[in-house]
Amino acid sequence: MNVLLTGGAGYIGSHICNTLIDLDYKVTTIDNLSTGNKNLIPKKVKHINCDISDTKSVNSLINKNNFDVVMHLAAFTRVGESVKYPEKYELNNFSKAKIFIDTCLRNNLKRFIFSSTGSVYGNLNNNEKIKETELTNPINPYSESKLKFEKYLINETIKKKAYCTILRYFNVAGADLKRRTGLISNPDNLIKAICEVAVKKREKLIINGNNYKTKDGTPIRDFIHVLDLVDIHVLVAHSLLNSGENEIYNCGYGIGFSIMDVIKEMNSIIGYKLPIKISDRREGDAVYSVADNKKFLKKFSWNPKYNNLKIILESALEWEKSLK
């Protein structure tokens, strides 16, 4: 398989690159390194350092290769930042992505996987697992930009008789067990912050609100190990090659943990209590976000290997320790 992937120098993209190379696939990534780290890209991956909206460079790249599948991950992903700078997220996550996909479609590429987010569902009042049929109601500019592009991609691929699969990620966490890659920096990422406190890079952990209507007052999240998410991409890529269809899938385990659950598990791993500070709620945060993944499980023979909060935290912690 020959894969064109955007955002290969990022957290999830670099994990996908490593796995595809392990499977002996051919991989090219477009990444302008605005947020990514070149050192995370495996040596066997061809790296094109340009913006996804650079039509001339993307045209040239596609014409020189015979790509089977396009995986589009390149995006800004920080919820808090999106609230402060919504126009930045509209430009990068929608407008530039639109230019990129239009270029791909003009060059007759037919199969796409898009990295979206479970936050497109917004704040549901029933605290039930979220199905793909749930009405979308994004509550921050990040998820708004993702949903807007979802709709555009689906419409354009149908018009051009191409196919796309939308993957709505829930809370991706953990790191490569060989420590080849992991999350370098993201102030919005809970488990990253917990690990930084555990290795003394941060003085204390800030909890944004403990007065939510949950069992302990902190939000509930569905954490999926990044390596299991990578396997989902591989399964979907093969499916797109074998049968054309447009689909949306939730990517999570369907298990919810509160913020305090996660902290307690890390306390158990390191043998002491992490220092914490309760702060105000963060604008744009949902109360309860847990995937109903039955649709994906029905379609694919997916057996997650790392569906365990302890494994997720330990792999993230080991990666954090390896960073200087």
Q: Is the confidence at residue 166, as pLDDT, over 90?
A: yes
pLDDT digits (tens, 9 = 90+) for 68-100: 999 999 999 988 899 999 999 999 999 999 999
What percent of the chain has pLDDT above 70? 100
* 142 catalytic residue (yes or no): yes
Average pLDDT for 44-58 = 98
Average pLDDT for 100-125 = 95
**How much is the pLDDT for 20?**
98
pLDDT digits (tens, 9 = 90+) for 278-297: 999 877 778 899 999 999 99
**How much is the pLDDT for 246?**
93
Catalytic residue among 11, 142, 253, 306: 142
What percent of the chain has pLDDT above 90? 90
Q: Using an 8 Å Cβ cutoff, are 290 and 129 in contact?
A: yes
**How much is the pLDDT for 282?**
79
Q: What is the mean pLDDT of the chain?
A: 95
**How much is the pLDDT for 126?**
73
Per-residue pLDDT band at 245 (split at 50, 70, 90): confident
Average pLDDT for 111-120 = 97
**How much is the pLDDT for 248?**
98
pLDDT digits (tens, 9 = 90+) for 17-45: 999 999 999 999 999 999 999 999 999 99
Domain 2-173+225-251 has CATH 3.30.70.270: no
In angstroms, the CA 50 to CA 33 distance is 8
